[in-house]
C-alpha cells in the first residue's frame, strides 16, 4: 500500500533515529493530532507496570477528552526504573508538548525495549525536535518502523467505514514479537480515527475490540510491563456524534475497529520470535465463551503442544491433555478434534477429523502429519456441552525463539 492510503484526516505521524538503539535504526515515533482528541486506552495487568504505563493511566483519568498525541520510543522500556524513570516519562511528554505548542498533560508516552535501564534522556530529548519536524499525514510507515524491537517487519493497517453518511478512517500501528500473552501481550499499539464519538463509548469500543483481538493471541505466555493499546479520535470525520451503544453507528465502528485490531494482532503472531507456524485454535461447544477461551488459551500456551507444531508431529494427545487441565467442564466422550493446514490463509487442505467421542479415528498418520507440517495450522476442538466458543491465535516454539531470547540484551 502507498503511504497516502494510511492517512487519517487531522493526524500526522513520524519516525526518526534518535540514537536510542545501538544499531542506528529508527527508534522515536510521534503521532499527533492538529486538534484536541478524545482518548481511550487499555493497559497491561502486569503488577510491575512501566513508568510510561503509570503516566498514561494518570493522564487518561485526568484528561480523556483533550489530548494531542503520543510519543513512542523503542530500545528502552523504562520499566523497573523507579523515581527517575517516572520523572523521565513526564519529561518526555512535556518536551513534546512544548515542541508541538500543545497544552500541558496532552501527550501520552510509550516505551519498549530492555527492562531495568534508564532512558538515555539526552539523546531522546535531542530527537524530539527532529521527530516533530518530520510530522506529516503520510508518516505512518516511519512511525511503525520506529517502534519495532525484535520485530522483523512493521505492522501497519487501515480501515474505513461509512457512518452517518461520512467516511470514517482508522489507521493503527503495533509492535510485538515476544512476551506475547493476553491481558495483554508485550505489545504497543496506537490507533487513530477521525470518528466523532463520546469518550465513554470510545473506551467501551476499544475494550470490545481488544477482547476479540489483542487478548486472543499468545506466543510464549509472558505478559509484559509496558503493554498499551491507545485509541485517539479527533472527530473530524463530520459524522453525527455517536452517544449511545445501541446506535447502529456504534456497532459499525466497533466492527471496523475490531477488524483493524485483529489484523494487527495476527500480524504480531505471524512475526513471533522464532516462529515457523501460525496456528489458529478454535474451541466450540463449551459451557460458556469464557470456558472456551480458557481451553483455547491453555492449548495455545502449552510448551508440549507448541513444540509438536514445530516438529510437524501430529501428537493430538497433547492437545486434548491441555483441554483436560484447563479447569473447565469436559466430558471426554463428547469431545471431537479436527485439524487442517496449508501454505497460506485461504489455501488449506481439507479438514481432517482425528478424534470422535474422545477416541481416535482410523485416519492415515501421513494425512495428519501433512497438516501439522504446514506453515498455517487450524485446530478445532468440539466439546459438545453448550454454545460457548472462542478463537486464539498462537505460534509454535522453536530453537530460534530460545536463541533470540537467550541473548536479547547482548
341 and 208 fall within a common domain: no
225 and 312 fall within a common domain: no
So what's the pLDDT on residue 181?
45
Average pLDDT on 34-38 reads 98
44 and 140 fall within a common domain: yes
Give the confidence band of 388 by pLDDT, cuts at 50, 70, 90.
very high
So what's the pLDDT on residue 406?
60
Give the tens place of pLDDT for each residue, 155-164.
999 999 999 9
| Window from 176-185, 228-237, 374-383 with minimum mean pLDDT | 176-185
So what's the pLDDT on residue 48?
83
Domain boundary among 226, 252, 270: 270
So what's the pLDDT on residue 159?
98
So what's the pLDDT on residue 396?
87
65 is catalytic: no
23 and 172 fall within a common domain: yes
So what's the pLDDT on residue 270?
85
Give the confidence band of 403 by pLDDT, cuts at 50, 70, 90.
low
**Is residue 93 a part of any domain in this protein?**
yes
Give the tens place of pLDDT for each residue, 354-387.
999 999 999 999 999 999 999 999 999 999 999 9
**Is residue 82 a part of any domain in this protein?**
yes
User: Residue 118 has what DSSP assignment?
Assistant: -
Task: Give the pairing type, strands 166-175 and 155-163.
Answer: antiparallel
- Helices 51-62 & 82-100, crossing angle to 10 degrees? 50
CA pair distance 47, 189, nearest whole angstrom: 20
So what's the pLDDT on residue 225?
64
So what's the pLDDT on residue 186?
53
355 and 219 fall within a common domain: no
SS3 labels along 128-187: HHHHHHCCECCCHHHHHHHCCCCCCCCEEEEEEEEECCEEEEEEEEEECCCCCCCCCCCC
Cβ 161 vs Cβ 253: under 8 Å:
yes
94 marked among binding-site residues: no
Average pLDDT on 36-64 reads 93
So what's the pLDDT on residue 401?
63
User: Residue 195 has what DSSP assignment?
Assistant: -
Give the tens place of pLDDT for each residue, 134-144.
999 999 999 99
So what's the pLDDT on residue 114?
84
**Is residue 297 a part of any domain in this protein?**
yes
44 marked among binding-site residues: no
**Is residue 2 a part of any domain in this protein?**
no
- 172 vs 115, more confident: 172
Buried b (16+ CB within 10 A) or exposed e, 234-247: bbbbebeebeeeeb
Average pLDDT on 181-210 reads 85
Domain boundary among 270, 287, 315: 270
So what's the pLDDT on residue 369?
95
* Residues linked to residue 382 through DSSP beta bridges, in sequence order: 284, 336
**Is residue 260 a part of any domain in this protein?**
yes
**Is residue 400 a part of any domain in this protein?**
yes
262 and 326 fall within a common domain: no
Give the tens place of pLDDT for each residue, 250-302.
999 999 999 999 999 999 888 877 788 999 999 999 999 999 999 999 999 99
**Is residue 153 a part of any domain in this protein?**
yes
CB within 8 A of 399, min separation 6: which ones? 274
Determine what percent of the chain falls in helix, strand and coil, rounding each to the nearest 5. 35, 30, 40
Domain boundary among 270, 290, 322: 270
CATH classification of the domain holding 243? 3.60.70.12
249 and 370 fall within a common domain: no
So what's the pLDDT on residue 373?
95
Average pLDDT on 224-237 reads 89
So what's the pLDDT on residue 405?
57
Q: What residues make up the domain containing 176?
A: 8-270
Q: Which of 106, 112, 186, 301 is catalytic?
A: 186
Give the tens place of pLDDT for each residue, 162-175.
999 999 999 999 99
| Window from 83-87, 184-188, 329-333 with minimum mean pLDDT | 184-188
**Closest C-alpha to 223, from 187, 186, 274:** 186
**Is residue 1 a part of any domain in this protein?**
no
Give the confidence band of 404 by pLDDT, cuts at 50, 70, 90.
low
277 marked among binding-site residues: no
Q: How many domains does the chain have?
A: 2
Q: Which three cell numbers stand for residue 270?
A: 505471524
User: Would you give the end-to-end CA distance of the chain in angstroms?
Assistant: 35
Average pLDDT, the chain: 92
382 marked among binding-site residues: no
So what's the pLDDT on residue 177?
59
- 244 vs 274, more confident: 244
276 marked among binding-site residues: no
pTM for this structure?
0.88
97 and 208 fall within a common domain: yes
405 marked among binding-site residues: yes
221 and 130 fall within a common domain: yes
CA pair distance 251, 248, nearest whole angstrom: 5
166 and 69 fall within a common domain: yes
Give the confidence band of 180 by pLDDT, cuts at 50, 70, 90.
very low
Q: Is 247 left (phi over 0), alpha (psi -120 to 50) or beta?
A: beta
Give the confidence band of 29 by pLDDT, cuts at 50, 70, 90.
very high
Amino acid at each position: 500500500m502507498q503511504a497516502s492510503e494510511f492517512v487519517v484526516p487531522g493526524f500526522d505521524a513520524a519516525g526518526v533515529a534518535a540514537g536510542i538503539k545501538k544499531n542506528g535504526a529508527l527508534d522515536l515515533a510521534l503521532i499527533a493530532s492538529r486538534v484536541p482528541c478524545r482518548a481511550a486506552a487499555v493497559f497491561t495487568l502486569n503488577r510491575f507496570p512501566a513508568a510510561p504505563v503509570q503516566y498514561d493511566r494518570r493522564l487518561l483519568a485526568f484528561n480523556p477528552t483533550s489530548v494531542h498525541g503520543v510519543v513512542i520510543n523503542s530500545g528502552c522500556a523504562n520499566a523497573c526504573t523507579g523515581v527517575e524513570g517516572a520523572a523521565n516519562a513526564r519529561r518526555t511528554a512535556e518536551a513534546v508538548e512544548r515542541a508541538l505548542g500543545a497544552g500541558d498533560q496532552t501527550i501520552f508516552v510509550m516505551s519498549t525495549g530492555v527492562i531495568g535501564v534508564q532512558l538515555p534522556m539526552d539523546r531522546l530529548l535531542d530527537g524530539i525536535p527532529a521527530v516533530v519536524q518530520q510530522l506529516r499525514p503520510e508518516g505512518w510507515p516511519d512511525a511503525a518502523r520506529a517502534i519495532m524491537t525484535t520485530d522483523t517487519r512493521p505492522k501497519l493497517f487501515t480501515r474505513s467505514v461509512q457512518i452517518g453518511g461520512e467516511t470514517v478512517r482508522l489507521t493503527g500501528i503495533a509492535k510485538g514479537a515476544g512476551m506475547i500473552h493476553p491481558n495483554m501481550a508485550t505489545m504497543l499499539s496506537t490507533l487513530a480515527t477521525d470518528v466523532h464519538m463520546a469518550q465513554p463509548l470510545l473506551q467501551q469500543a476499544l475494550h470490545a475490540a481488544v477482547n476479540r483481538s489483542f487478548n486472543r493471541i499468545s506466543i510464549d505466555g509472558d505478559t509484559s510491563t509496558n503493554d498499551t493499546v491507545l485509541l485517539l479520535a479527533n472527530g473530524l470525520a463530520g459524522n453525527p456524534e455517536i452517544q449511545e451503544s445501541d446506535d447502529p453507528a456504534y456497532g459499525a465502528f466497533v466492527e471496523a475497529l475490531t477488524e483493524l485490531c485483529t489484523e494487527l494482532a495476527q500480524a504480531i503472531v505471524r512475526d513471533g520470535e522464532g516462529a515457523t507456524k501460525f496456528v489458529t485454535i478454535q474451541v466450540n461447544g463449551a459451557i460458556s465463551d469464557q470456558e472456551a477461551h480458557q481451553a483455547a488459551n491453555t492449548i495455545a500456551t502449552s510448551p508440549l503442544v507448541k513444540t509438536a507444531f514445530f516438529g510437524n508431529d501430529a501428537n493430538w494427545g497433547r492437545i486434548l491433555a491441555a483441554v483436560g487441565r484447563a479447569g473447565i467442564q469436559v466430558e471426554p466422550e463428547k469431545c471431537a478434534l479436527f485439524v487442517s493446514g496449508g501454505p497460506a490463509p485461504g489455501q488449506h487442505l481439507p479438514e481432517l477429523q482425528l478424534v470422535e467421542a474422545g477416541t481416535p479415528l482410523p485416519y492415515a498418520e501421513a494425512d495428519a502429519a501433512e497438516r501439522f507440517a504446514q506453515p498455517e495450522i487450524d485446530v478445532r476442538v468440539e466439546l459438545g456441552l453448550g454454545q460457548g466458543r472462542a478463537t486464539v491465535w498462537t505460534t509454535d516454539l522453536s530453537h530460534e525463539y530460545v536463541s533470540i531470547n537467550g541473548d536479547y540484551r547482548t
